[in-house]
Structure 1
């Protein structure tokens, strides 16, 4: 019976735009999409770290969109455990984004010397700086979402 009462507290429809943990979906999509676009349009010098950043940004963008659609359509009302799953996903996404943000910052720092030698690469260096800022901000959004989701999960 407590599980049914708990399910009533999970929002659906436009209610996700008004509750504290769920209103982070749209900013996560926007800033995650910006990271995706900025990294995709830069000059890839070390392909492996940039590839990880692309994987994380695309994976989290797609999964967050799916998660948003499930919550908007009310699919979470059919079974229990959605509050724990919400916390688990956003904690995992925050960890992934933190790892990719640190790699992206490392690549950008090493890219500064190359941009000083070849001035035509300066534009890509600035785009990498923007991607680093948006990536760390997206990490913060996922982390805050995970904290509030944990509080909601504990309230069940």
Structure 2
């Protein structure tokens, strides 16, 4: 019984980096940071779309770093309310990143239709990379959310 209880609670310390789904914080941070860098480095012909993508990538990056730091420090203390907080954060991040990835893909498609000018080719290539990493970040957040929901259900 005690092993079932320990598998459903949030880990603390460096065990966060070895347990699933919490190990997904690392690729979420890496992919989110790459989206942030790629969108920030490209010129912005459509500020409203790129602004949302920047907001989502920065918000989720900071949220993931903060949660990872709090889990490593053991602030949660085994409380079940932290499991619910984890699910809520992963759900918000998954929805935000899905919307940002779709908008970035639309923006990249729009650039691609007029990419016959050589000046738009670097923007197009950076945005293709941003789209790929945004969808990878979305996938990581969705997987993390699903397994966080399973952890919440079993606790």
Query: What's the TM-score bracket when you normalise by the shorter of the two chains?
Result: over 0.9
Residue 92, structure 1, aligned to residue 121, structure 2: no
Q: Unaligned stretches of 5+ in structure 1?
A: none
Q: Which residue of 2 aligns with 1:46?
A: 46
Residue 9 of structure 1 deviates from its aligned partner by 2.8
Distance in 1, Cα, partners of 2:103 & 2:90:
20
Residue 18 of structure 1 deviates from its aligned partner by 1.3
Moved over 3 A (4+): 5-8
Map Cα deviations across residues 32-77 of structure 1 (whole Å, 9 max, x no partner).
Answer: 0000000001121111000000000000000110000110000011
Q: Which residue of 2 aligns with 1:141?
A: 140
Mapping for residues 114-129 of structure 1, pairs under 5 Å: 114-116=114-116, 118-129=117-128
Map Cα deviations across residues 106-154 of structure 1 (whole Å, 9 max, x no partner).
Answer: 00000113321x2122011001000000000100000000000011111
Q: Which residue of 2 aligns with 1:62?
A: 62
Q: Unaligned stretches of 5+ in structure 2?
A: none
Instruction: Give the TM-score normalised by the residue count of structure 2.
Output: 0.93
Residue 88 of structure 1 deviates from its aligned partner by 1.1
Distance in 2, Cα, partners of 1:133 & 1:20:
23
State how many pairs are aligned. Answer: 152
Map Cα deviations across residues 74-107 of structure 1 (whole Å, 9 max, x no partner).
Answer: 0011744111110111011000000010000000
Partner SS state of residue 19, structure 2: coil
Q: CA RMSD in A?
A: 1.7
Question: Which is worse superposed, 56-65 or 8-17?
Answer: 8-17
